[in-house]
Amino acid sequence: MTGVLNLVRRLGAGVVEGVWRIGFATRFFLLLLRYSAQSLLRLHLTIREIYFSGVLSLLIIVVSGLFVGMVLGLQGYETLQRYGSSEALGVLVALSLTRELGPVVAALLFASRAGSAVTAEIGLMKTTEQLKAMDMMAVNPIARVVAPRFWGGVISMPLLAALFSAMGVFGGWLIGVVFIGVDEGAFWSQMQAAVDFRFDVLNGVIKSFVFGIAVALIAVFEGYDCTPTAEGVSRAITRTVVSSALAILALDFVLTSFMFRGQS
Amino acid sequence: MTPLDSNDALVRLQDVRFAYGEREILSGIDFSVRRGQVVAIMGGSGCGKTTLLRLIGGQLCASGGTVSVAGQDLAGLSTGEMYALRRRMGMLFQFGALFTDMSVFDNVAFPLREHTDLPPALVHDLVMMKLNAVGLRGAAKLKPAELSGGMARRVALARAIALDPALIMYDEPFAGLDPISLGVIGQLIRKLNDALGASTIMVTHDIVESLQIVDYIYFIASGRIVAQGTPDEIRASRDPFVHQFIHAEADGPVPFHYPAAPLADSLIGRSSA
């Protein structure tokens, strides 16, 4: 009986803690938006973060995009040639990338590479009292530290996803056309005919923008909210990567069901 | 000539109480600092000294009583008003809390760049003057990671005085320093206070160094002020707590042992303590 009671008690405490955290995160997000204008006016702060989050993630995005595209080229050709439609390889590669793989895989990579770094940086600033020191100097840490990192992530994400997709298409072309010998004209012309700018490309960009907001918000919040100890920072980084991955996949499902319902 | 008699108090706490939920950290604190004074808050670890400093800095809100700085009651201030007041305060954190992604120069320039529109040449000159005051002009280009503990604290001190504050607060300025650095920091605290015409509050448990440089000392134990006085009064004090503290006696009003069952009970297994 006591065991059951304890279980219920723990469950209740967990729910209360969860609701409390969601409330805190919402309040944090509103504060972040409130101080964003102040932070965006000093553009060099955000540009610096675009460099750290975006430019420094280029290598992993470019290389991963290339390999994903090459794998798509191989697998796609393997399947399509059974039905004698290997010329549609370009369409398959481009649609898979712009609609799904580009935004989703780039966001997952971005969360692991840049999201974790942002959480670690803000978490360590909190642990070493840098945020408190800033607050004591009458400089708001949300405006000076958090907002530029958030917007740096939000701006970088769609650009990185676009680059990922472009590299993927290049990888697909490299394998399909250069190595396997699919007809180049068919590869590109079918792609041009079948990929719609509004439904495929733009929806992909919207997806990556939403993922960017989710990943950047989770990363800055986990860093700002972490327990200021070595263990606390390490847990916060883990939470950033895990929560971001779950958020990306769940949001992808929701967005896909809205965007592509009844299309193609 | 206790500071409480003066009307010229920059910082004044009246019957201040602070608690985390049910756990009371401070109670019945009456405390004041006059302009130009260097005041030390002393007591063992965990007695509430740093909490008191955070109450004065407005980082924590008192659960009862009033905390006022420069005539303003902190409880009624908006965020903007609090920030306006903090521009007149400098605070040195225990381990410096320097921004690790910036050079020494940029750390000291930070408050100037954030709060003023001074041209870069003037910021440069001001930063160099502050760094010169703490003897680290030559270290301007170094990163915080390249500094020793004592140097980092001096840089943090230069940053804390960048805007010529009216009140400077130090959290354990002497912790973990070698005797030379300790003497240097001690002298700097006094000299900077007098040169800037500021008031200083420092939280410390370094009694020897403090007695040489401060004007007034408060002793805190178990969240209450248990003794206070000028350095001469403190040296002459017969208060058992002050005596134990000054002579670094292991046992006295502050017990050596954390409350526990008798040792014999623990050893023969009659208690889990």
Q: Which residue of A has its CA nearest to B159?
A: A137
pLDDT of residue A220: 96
pLDDT of residue B219: 86
pLDDT of residue B5: 41
- Tens-place pLDDT, residues A10-30: 999 999 998 998 899 999 999
Q: How far apart are CA A190 and CA A50, in angstroms?
A: 35
Return residues 95-124 of B near A (CB < 8 Å).
95, 97-100, 110-111, 114-115
Model ipTM value = 0.81
pLDDT of residue A73: 94
Q: Which residue of A has its CA nearest to B99?
A: A130
| Closest C-alpha to B220, from B253, B186, B258 | B253
CB of B129 closer than 8 Å to CB of B109: no
pLDDT of residue A76: 93
State the average pLDDT for chain B: 84
B111 vs A140: CB contact, 8 Å cut-off? Answer: no
Q: How far apart are CA A207 and CA A200, in angstroms?
A: 11
CB of B224 closer than 8 Å to CB of B248: no
pLDDT of residue B6: 46
| Closest C-alpha to B187, from B149, B143, B133 | B133
A130 vs B99: CB contact, 8 Å cut-off? Answer: yes
A139 vs B114: CB contact, 8 Å cut-off? Answer: yes
Q: Which amino acid is at B226?
A: V
CB of A108 closer than 8 Å to CB of A245: yes
Mean pLDDT of B41-52: 82
Shortest Cα distance from B264 to chain A (angstroms)? 35
pLDDT of residue B225: 86
- Tens-place pLDDT, residues A52-95: 999 999 999 999 999 999 999 999 999 999 998 888 999 999 99
Helix, strand or coil for residue B184? helix
pLDDT of residue B266: 77
**Residue appearing with tokens 């068919």:** A186
Residue of B114, B116, B155 to mutate, testing the A interface (most A Cβ within 10 Å of its Cβ)? B114
**H helical segments located in chain A:** 2-41, 43-53, 58-80, 89-95, 102-110, 116-127, 130-136, 141, 147-173, 184-194, 203-225, 230-259
Mean pLDDT of B220-235: 85
* Cβ contacts of A136 on chain B, cutoff 8 Å: 57, 59, 86, 89, 91
Q: What percent of chain A has pLDDT over 90?
A: 82
- Tens-place pLDDT, residues B202-213: 998 888 888 888
- Tens-place pLDDT, residues A127-139: 999 999 999 999 9
A130 vs B114: CB contact, 8 Å cut-off? Answer: no
Which of B87, B93, B110 comes nearest A129 by C-beta?
Answer: B93
- DSSP for A78-124, please give it: HHHGGGT-GGGHHHHHHHIIIIIIHHHHHHHHHIIIIIHHHHHHHHH
* Edge-first strand listing for the sheet containing B23-34: B23-34, B9-20, B64-69, B72-73
CB of A175 closer than 8 Å to CB of A204: no
B2 pLDDT tier (thresholds 50, 70, 90): very low
Which of A129, A133, A138 comes nearest B115 by C-beta?
Answer: A138
Q: Which residues contact B121 (CB under 8 A, 6 or more apart)?
A: none
B99 vs A144: CB contact, 8 Å cut-off? Answer: no
Q: What percent of chain B has pLDDT over 70?
A: 92
Chain centroid offset of residue B29 CA: 16
Mean pLDDT of B19-36: 86
pLDDT of residue B242: 78
- Return the half-sphere exposure (C-beta side, CA atoms, 13 A cut-off) of residue B23: 6
**Residue B72: DSSP 8-state:** E
Q: How far apart are CA A223 and CA A114, in angstroms?
A: 13
B164 inside 8 A of chain A by CB: no
- Tens-place pLDDT, residues B166-193: 999 998 888 877 788 788 888 888 988 9
Angle at A139 between CA A137 and CA A140, to 5 degrees: 135
Whether the per-residue pLDDT at B4 is higher than 50: the answer is no
User: Which stretches of chain A sit within 8 Å of chain B by CB?
Assistant: 124-125, 128-130, 132-140, 144
B270 pLDDT tier (thresholds 50, 70, 90): low
Residue of higher predicted confidence among B173 and A167: A167
pLDDT of residue B3: 41
Cα distances (angstroms) measured from residue B84 to each of A254, B58, B156, B193, B260? 46, 12, 21, 21, 48
CB of B197 closer than 8 Å to CB of B204: no
CB of A224 closer than 8 Å to CB of A32: no
Lowest-confidence region among A234-238, B6-10, B62-66: B6-10
Whether the per-residue pLDDT at A113 is higher than 80: the answer is yes
pLDDT of residue A234: 95
Angle at B99 between CA B98 and CA B102, to 5 degrees: 120
pLDDT of residue B251: 65
SS3 of chain B: helix, strand, coil, percent, to 5: 40, 25, 35
B245 pLDDT tier (thresholds 50, 70, 90): confident
CB of B39 closer than 8 Å to CB of B3: yes
pLDDT of residue A41: 86
* Cβ contacts of B114 on chain A, cutoff 8 Å: 137-139, 144
pLDDT of residue B254: 64
| Closest C-alpha to A157, from A118, A198, A200, A102 | A102
B83 vs A129: CB contact, 8 Å cut-off? Answer: no
- Tens-place pLDDT, residues A209-247: 999 999 999 999 999 999 999 999 999 999 999 999 999
| Closest C-alpha to A64, from A161, A185, A133 | A161
B83 inside 8 A of chain A by CB: yes
